[in-house]
Amino acid sequence: MSSGNRIPAAQYLRMSTEHQQYSIDNQIDAIRTYAEAQGFEIIKTYIDEGKSGLVLKHRLGLAQLLSDVVGGPQSYKAILVYDVSRWGRFQDADESAYYEFLCKSAGFEPIVDEHTFTAAQQIIAHSKSDEYLLDRLRFLLATEGSLGRWELRTTPGMPSEQTYVNRFGSLTKAFALAGFERHDRAKVYQTVHRIKRLRSEVVENLLDRFPNRVRLQQETQDRRPILHFDGAPPLLIVVCKSVTLPKGGQRWILSAHIKWAHPALLCLCNQTNTKIEKFSLFRSLPPSKLLFRKDDFNPLRCRSATDVCSLFETAGALA
């Protein structure tokens, strides 16, 4: 079909950190393929990078799209998105419905009718097995050290509270099936305290060994320390807890809440999380990676050692 016969369309892209499949490039490629097959031509792009789908005021791209749609006739006749979740996960259903109403009022009708969309959403929700939902909880438990409403609401990519209630009867029962019960909290607090102690020991060792080369910056909001070596970019110190998979493999967890674009020192715990067995220095953290295996620490990606100070013996170690 020639470009003159194609339907002009806008595309809306929203990047969030929970799934690599939702990267901006992946969305662009998927929408381009769909547009070419269905006779659309993309003439305008609205984009929100790395923004939560919960609050409109943080999403300038979507706000501009709505403003344009309400403001009068546009040169495009359709709005394409990769997935309905890119439109948003508003906690207030009335808010989401209102934004959809604005688009409909301006003449943009959904290609899929509401009945079909609702039915598809129900199929998708039920297609996730009990074991998948419980595995997500187990991963969250290993990452955060605890399970609760707060962890579910603030962790990217987690199914909603209602999903667990509908499937298992209550959050308490779902948490118990994932291996976490209220009496586990004392054990959780012990692990958290031990991780903080290990992290403090790493920082103290580096400050003692290199008193004239390193300084400690004010800690981040989540209390992870930042060091500066010889005027190099800031270095984040992260202790990664070890988890043992059901089949016996070992993995290391990086918290989903860490957002860091500079060098990072990952301190890998042993299987009992009682001491650090290896240190790995990355120039930058791999994007969207929360679970590390042994082959992720190869020399092409990072420098590793069993003695943390040996990583910084030479000047310019972070260059």
Long-range contact list for 33-38, CB < 8 A, 24+ apart?
A: 34/80, 35/6, 35/9, 35/11, 35/80
pLDDT at 92 over 80: no
Q: Which fold has domain 3-124?
A: Rossmann fold (3.40.50)
Q: Between these two residues, 119 and 70, which has the higher pLDDT value?
A: 70
pLDDT at 204 over 50: yes
Q: Which residues pair with 260 in a beta bridge?
A: none
From residue 43, give the alpha-carbon distance in Å to each of 10, 79, 288: 6, 10, 30
pLDDT at 147: 83
pLDDT single digits (tens) 141-200: 877 777 887 778 767 667 878 888 888 988 889 988 888 876 556 666 677 788 889 999
pLDDT at 83 over 70: no
Model pTM above 0.75: no
pLDDT at 275: 93
pLDDT at 288: 66
From residue 284, give the alpha-carbon distance in Å to each of 50, 224, 265: 17, 16, 9
Characterise 31 by phi-psi region: left (phi > 0), alpha (psi -120 to 50), beta (else).
alpha
Q: Between these two residues, 248 and 83, which has the higher pLDDT value?
A: 248
pLDDT at 20: 45
All residues at 6 or more sequence positions from 166 whose CB lies less than 8 Å from its CB, including other chains: none
pLDDT at 203: 92
- The mean pLDDT of the chain is 77
pLDDT at 1: 57
Long-range contact list for 192-195, CB < 8 A, 24+ apart?
A: 192/145, 194/273, 194/274, 195/239, 195/241, 195/269, 195/273
Alpha helix positions (H), 128-241: 130-144, 149-154, 161-168, 171-177, 185-209
Residue spans per domain, the chain: 3-124, 129-180, 186-312
The percent of residues in the chain predicted with pLDDT above 90, rounded, is 17
Cα separation, 259 vs 266, in Å, equals 14
pLDDT at 26 over 70: yes
pLDDT at 166: 86
The percent of residues in the chain predicted with pLDDT above 70, rounded, is 71
pLDDT at 151: 77
pLDDT at 134: 87
pLDDT at 114: 55
Q: What value does the mean pLDDT take over residues 19-37?
A: 74
C-alpha neighbours within 13 Å on the C-beta side of residue 284: 7
- What are phi and psi for residue 49, nearest 5 degrees? -100, 125
